[in-house]
Amino acid sequence: VAGGGGTPFDFFNVFGYAPGSTLGGGTDIFFSGGFAMIGPISSDVFFNVGSLFMSTITLPTNGMDFRAPVTIGFDATGTLDTPLQQSIDVSGSANGYIRFDFSNGTYTPESFVEVPEPGTLGLIGTGLLGVAARVRNKLLRKT
């Protein structure tokens, strides 16, 4: 399922936030359209207003750049544009962070950056240790 849309203008303020501001919580999420691929069949999806949640952030008052850990989640219900007009529910969430840059007395947010799950980091670490051990063994055999 893919689609586009947005939130009310005041939920993600593009002009920046005053130091000490609190932001996050829940809001509506609007969709301008979408489509779903179910097996070999592609169908348009018409979404109702959904909901978006972001964990609460309180910005510092020290004027320093800041990185805030956040959880973002959404859910929405739509209708497949097929003769059966089937209902479809979509949802998701992610953990990550938003970096805020301080300039001219306000904090301006950058894009949300998703952080990999701890299990993924463990697998990557195990793989890197395996590569390092193999290189070490090759070097020891040459001497």
pTM: 0.67
Residues 23-79: pLDDT tens digits? Answer: 999 999 888 778 777 788 888 888 888 899 999 999 999 999 999 999 999 998 888
pLDDT tens digits for range 87-126: 888 888 999 999 999 999 999 998 889 987 655 445 455 5
CB neighbours of 134 closer than 8 A, spacing ≥ 6?
Answer: none
Instruction: Give the domain extent around 27.
Output: 2-115
C-alpha–C-alpha distance, residues 72 and 55, integer Å: 7
The answer as to whether 55 is a domain residue is yes
Query: Is 16 a member of any domain?
Result: yes
- Nearest Cα residue to 98 out of 62, 63, 61, 56: 56
Inside any domain, residue 120 = no
Answer whether 110's CB lies under 8 Å from 99's CB: yes
Instruction: With respect to residue 123, please indicate whether it lies within any of the assigned structural domains.
Output: no
141 within some domain: no
Q: Which residues of 27-52 are buried (b: 16+ CB within 10 A; e: fewer)?
A: bebbbeebebeeeeeebebebeebeb
Q: How many domains does the chain have?
A: 1
